[in-house]
Chain A
Amino acid sequence: MTTTAIGSEKHTSGNFGEVRFEGVSKVYEKEGEEKLVALEGLDFLVQKGKTTVLMGPTGCGKTVLINLIAGYEKPTSGAVYMDGQPVREPGSDRLVVFQESALFPWMTVHANVTFGCQVQGMAETQTREKANHILNVVGLSDFRDKYPSQLSGGMQRRAELARALINDPKIMLMDEPFRGLDAMTRQLMQEFYVQLYEKEGHTNLFITHEINEGIFLADRLAIMTFQPGKIKAEIEVDLPRPRDFKLMATPRFMEIRAHALDLLYEEASKALAAGRKSAFDLVGALASTKDSCQVPL
């Protein structure tokens, strides 16, 4: 269903963005609590028109990084630049798809998708036209009058994608968007997203805990260190496009995966040694990927 739903022409304007972190630190300090250094001296480039996948142990500051780009939070020091301009506040050029659905439950799919156009004062006919197109792209045309609670998990994710894409964002910020979906739906969504990207070519920053998903989607794979969060390594994922799931059986995929797992494993162990319960999630996840890596559990 998702594979055939993609429209023939690009709907985005092709005006994609580049995000640069320069010496960004983010420290959380609360009275009476230990201060938490989420990010420290982070230099990082999210390349224009590429899919950058961000991985790292839970609690390493991945979501903070996205919040800084989106303008929800401000860096303690350093700055985040969007196409050379420092980020100051939220804007429709940088749109986030959250871990948990952030659809507005009291609006129909159509009202959710057109919310951005409406509050920005776009003409109604133009809004309707854009909505029709984008709902077609994500395969939700028949569900426009449903409320989010009446949709399946995968449909909710697609509605959220549509709500973002209709605004022609310069960058899509995907914060573990497919987490919590069942395996089948998740795979369909990954395939859908890869095809969407290959069609539209927008800039993407994608957070995931799932190594296969990460490599399958990525042009570049960035691995973060555990507290303080920095970029530990960046791996160029030179797998050919267009991609499909057969790719996962190729030797090159395996090679990249083994390399990435080594790096992730190091960080996960550190998180584990630091007594972070959350680190178990990652080590567990690595073990469940049926890789040969030794997990001391």
Chain B
Amino acid sequence: MVGLILVACGGNSSTAGKGSVHVLAVWAAAEQDSFMATLKPFEDQTGIKVLYESTRDVDSVLATRIAAGNPPEISSLPSPATLSKYAAQGKLVQLDNGILDMNTMNAQYSPGWIKLGTINGKLYEIFAWASVKGLIWYNPTKFAAKGYQVPTTWADLMTLQAKIKSDGTTPWCIAVNSGAASGWPGSDWVKEIVLSQSGPAVYDSWWQGKTKWTDPAIKLAWQTWGQILGPNDSNVSGGSKTILSQPFGNGGDGLFKNPPKCYMHNQASFITANFVTQDKAVAGTDFKFFPLPDVDPQYAGAHVGAGDAFSMLKDTSQARALIKYLTTPEAQAIWVKRGGKLSPNKSFDPANYPDDITRQVADVMTSAKIFDFDAGDLMPTAMFNAYWQAVLKFVADQSKLDSILQSLDAVQATAYK
């Protein structure tokens, strides 16, 4: 019977030529096209075939494959907490031990990026692309019509929000509905405030699970977000019901309504694609952004970013070649030019950015005095899921903050083991 099947299915085998390398990541649709375009020169030059698999649920699929002894050679692994678990189990391949040329790496990446991928002094993860969070999108036409000015300080932002409110409109549009992942857009707010308000030391010890959620610094960040939301979420279009039920992809639609439902929307730069398709908006005239102003001037220029990391789970010559390739500015430029990504590489030429908005976003990243990685992505999965859920509960009833933070402490106590 097996013989028959072998004959029957042999036609689909694809491991020909110079071998192949399996890659598992989250990118689908247009992102997948961009990633495959990035890989094209690699495949052409080396003859190695990249077998790419995409799933939204990378964590679970990878956990299953690793436990079963069948991991892909290369995978995107966002969370250092998960990463250190696999590293401790010996499931990861160390990269600074002959695979990557560390002189080149150190010349091209700032120490922050290298440190992020390092566990117990060993490099396990490299970053190919980056993005910036905490961008406040606004509609310049509508701003001009009301004579609103782009705020540069936190006080300015508070004044502007009060003015918009007294003019009879809600200042903000916020949408946290993302199906099973609901809450993350709100969690971005909180982490941006933590970094800008209490600085990188508190921020780092917080995501590492050493600073409790009930710590005054973290509680203050939630309360500061509460000032953005207003009493009973009254600063946000539609209040808590809209915040919770509106899909995050539609979050900024209110900026373009006539009259506008809100004047500001906080989201990473991917949202501009939604502005263009859903709202027929034009970059520059209908939408622009300003970075979230510094909450505490002591930590001026602090920004939260995110990145696309790769780790190696099986050591093959094909996988080595690919991981090297992904660290080169040439490879990174291919996707960057297609839009939607920034390069974390120091030797990257900004002329490669496809438009003005992307160049401005890249400028926020490169000129940042403090640039820290997305705390949510750094926490163990159980922790950031609880974090997202806490956002939903906080939006529904801000007065429950203390009990919400206590339950987050309870999760924190077990999630990091």
Genuine A/B complex: no
Chain A residues in contact with chain B, CB under 8 A? Answer: none
